[in-house]
Amino acid sequence: MMKRKITLALICFLVLVFGVWVFIPAPKAIEVGIVSQGRFERAVQEDGKTRVRDRYLISAPIMGRMGRTSLNQGDVVSIGDTLVTLWPATPALLDERTRAEQVAHIAAMQASWEKAQANTERASAALEQASAQRGRSEALTKNGFLSPNQNEVDLLNVRLREKELSSAQHEEAAARYALAQARVALRQFFQSLETGRKQAFDIKAPVGGRVLKTHQQSEGLVAAGAPLIELGDPEQLEVVVDLLTEEAAQIKPGTPVQLSQWGGPAVLKGQVRLIESAGFTKVSALGVEEQRVNAVIDITSPLSDWRALGDGFKVDVRVLVEVVENVMKVPVSAIFPMGSRSSIFVLDHGRARLQEIVVKARNGVEAWVKTDLAVGTQVIIYPDTKLKDKDRVKPH
């Protein structure tokens, strides 16, 4: 009798256990990521385009007949080389007003040359100041009073000031040659009226560099101000990229930049030189009107790394808006809103434990967070909307 009761009790217990096992929900399958610590980067990424930093458009100073030029795109020219020969056309009417306009034009070009001289002097002074600051920071770095990062910033500042001085010198040379050509054109313009002969004169290169474009190569009549040849130095390149205005507002001159997908194996380094002050409207591929603004970037990598780049080449631009070292990070796919705060689910011995966090910043992959979780803690990524605190879960 006793044995029968024990057997019956055992059967009831097994039935009860089986019922509980059947009706307990199975653990939910989840994917997991981990809490890590290290460098956090938040960047703005867009397509950019290279362009020659200083482009010089040579135009006809007066109306006349241009001789055929032998220059082609890519040809090297030096300062003072003859670009084209021009024979002035005799004007239909010459009066005091025309003469006054020509004289005023030369006076304006004289003022432009003096302004270019002043810019060269200012750029030279800025370079001297940057070099002195570089020397001081280098000495402080050797003695351990200054971080190497600040020393590198001062070195980049010296390089930028050198480029600014070079650009100012080119502009001064261009203004000087333009003034000289205008004077020659005016003198020969009046000589042809007095003698009845048309005296040819040569239009010379204001700067050294390469021919970027020839607007007219064959002989023919050209109007005053008609573009003839574009000159520039392909080794003095910059990158221009249009950014959303709300993104550009977060970027300052000096912000580091990474340049990739330009055709070479290396990821080039760059630095934002300026954000243009005027924006413009651009229609996106989805037909949405966006307010954008151009950012101009200097390439700071050695020339040997990007010698294959040319004017108008496409590059991928990654502007590092925010860089923070040694911070706690979690996958951005693990974060979800909980009211006005952000939360994650932590994997805790087979159960999902709800954990509030403070998100400092995020990018497309990870988020910089303020939390007391240890490095290596597993968190649930892409959590189900039905997942609740203390639910049973199982990674798959």
Q: Between the CA of residue 380 and those of 184, 337, 342, 383, 396, what are the distances in Å?
A: 78, 14, 14, 6, 11
By DSSP bridging, strand 289-299 and strand 237-244 are antiparallel
What pLDDT shows up at residue 70?
A: 86
pLDDT on residue 364: 84
Task: Compute the distance between CA of residue 89 and CA of residue 221 in angstroms, rounded to an integer.
Answer: 9
Cβ neighbours of residue 105 closer than 8 Å, sequence gap 6 or more: 182
Domain coordinates in residue numbering, the chain: 26-41+325-395, 42-51+235-324, 54-231
Reduce the DSSP state of residue 291 to 3 states and report it.
strand
Provide CATH code, domain 42-51+235-324: 2.40.30.170
* Residue 186, φ and ψ in degrees, nearest 5: -65, -40
The Cα 348–Cα 357 span in angstroms is 16
Fold type of domain 26-41+325-395: 2.40.420
- Quickly tell me which residue has 């910089």 as its tokens: 368
Which residues lie below 8 Å from residue 146, measured CB to CB, with a gap of 6+? Answer: 137, 140
Nearest Cα neighbor of 371 from 395, 343, 349 is 343
144: left (phi over 0), alpha (psi -120 to 50) or beta: left
Cβ atoms of 332 and 365 closer than 8 Å:
yes
Q: Which amino acid would we find at residue 341?
A: R
- The predicted-structure confidence for 311-346, as pLDDT tens digits, reads as follows 889 999 999 988 889 999 999 999 999 888 899 999
Are the C-beta atoms of 234 and 310 separated by less than 8 Å?
A: yes
Q: Which residues of the chain have pLDDT under 70?
A: 1-25, 90-99, 184-199
pLDDT tens digits, one per residue of 95-151: 566 667 777 778 888 888 888 888 888 888 888 888 888 888 887 777 777 777 777
The whole-model pTM stands at 0.59
Q: Please give the CATH topology (third level) of the domain spanning 54-231.
A: OB fold (Dihydrolipoamide Acetyltransferase, E2P) (2.40.50)
Return the pLDDT at 196: 46
